[in-house]
Amino acid sequence: MSLEVELSNWSYVAMLLFVIVGSWWLEFAFKLRVLRRPRILVTAIVPVSIFFLMWDAFAINQNHWTFDSEQILGIFGPLNIPLEEYLFFLIIPMAAVLTLEGVKVVMEKVKR
Amino acid sequence: MRFELSYTQITVYALIITIFFDMFVTKNSLLSTLRFWLSYAIIVPFQLITNWWLTSREIVVYNPDAIIGIRLAGAPIEDLIFGFAMILAVMSMWETMLRRHGGSSSVG
């Protein structure tokens, strides 16, 4: 096992950064109150994420999918799930909530 | 003992559980709202891009035995269903938590 991290090891992280960049601006552009209410956000996301992470753990265990060790950082959390997967189950739900709240603001503006 | 469940089967179960959750647990019935479908329409292209990135670069490799074999933008169709279920579950939970703790939403 190599301890050296090469650029290719950031491939999965790059996708997560893309989602962050693509969604967090909504908070500021539409004056949403999603990211600035972290407690509500966490209580909404965590139970759902745990449910889907259980599935991920099962799928990894069953070899439904595997991760290319050269394209992830190689840091693993509980249940043998890569760090990137844990982040995925936080970042994607946040993007979904931001989108929903953005849509609500726009719909409200259109109605007026 | 090996507990056999393909990715295809799990996605279908997750979808059913999530729809049930949204209709009868949080009672938000987001599937009958315009705001949900508009949001989903915005999210889908991005989901296809991220799925494509993960699968075409083979960051994630799927076992052919676990999937039905239909692919969309490089990713198994199951991924799309998986994403749909997760998005619906999170949005439904968010609206409930918002009502319970937050009072108003971003609107107004």
Domain count, chain B: 1
Q: Is residue A1 part of a domain?
A: no
Looking only at the bridges linking them, the beta strands covering B75-76 and B71-72 are: antiparallel
d(CA A10, CA B81): 26
Per DSSP, the three-state class of B76 is strand
Domain count, chain A: 1
Q: Is residue B106 part of a domain?
A: no
Q: Is residue A42 part of a domain?
A: yes
Give A108 to chain B, closest Cα distance, Å: 7
Residue range B31-86, pLDDT digits in tens: 999 999 999 999 999 999 999 999 998 899 888 888 888 888 888 898 899 999 99
Q: Is residue A93 part of a domain?
A: yes
- Of A3-7, A17-21, A105-109, B102-106, least confident by mean pLDDT is B102-106
pLDDT above 60 for A2: no
Contact residues on chain A for B102, CB-CB shorter than 8 A: 33, 37, 40
Contacts of B80 (CB under 8 A, 6+ apart): B44, B47, B48, B51, B72
Instruction: List the beta strands (DSSP E) in chain A.
Output: 65-67
Q: Is residue B103 part of a domain?
A: no
Q: Is residue B101 part of a domain?
A: no
Find the CB nearest A34 among B34, B46, B106.
B106
pLDDT above 60 for B87: yes
Find the CB nearest B63 among A40, A63, A108.
A63
Find the CB nearest A96 among B57, B67, B91.
B91
Contact residues on chain A for B62, CB-CB shorter than 8 A: 64-65
Residue range A53-76, pLDDT digits in tens: 998 898 888 888 899 999 999 999
Per DSSP, the three-state class of A26 is helix
The predicted pLDDT at position B1 comes to 43
Domain that includes residue A38, residue range: 7-111
DSSP state of A2: -
The predicted pLDDT at position B106 comes to 61
- Both tokens assigned to A88: 């995925």
Per DSSP, the three-state class of B13 is helix
d(CA A98, CA A37): 12
CB contacts < 8 A (A, B) = 133
**Mean per-residue pLDDT for A21-39?**
96
Q: Is residue B25 part of a domain?
A: yes
Domain that includes residue B65, residue range: 7-95
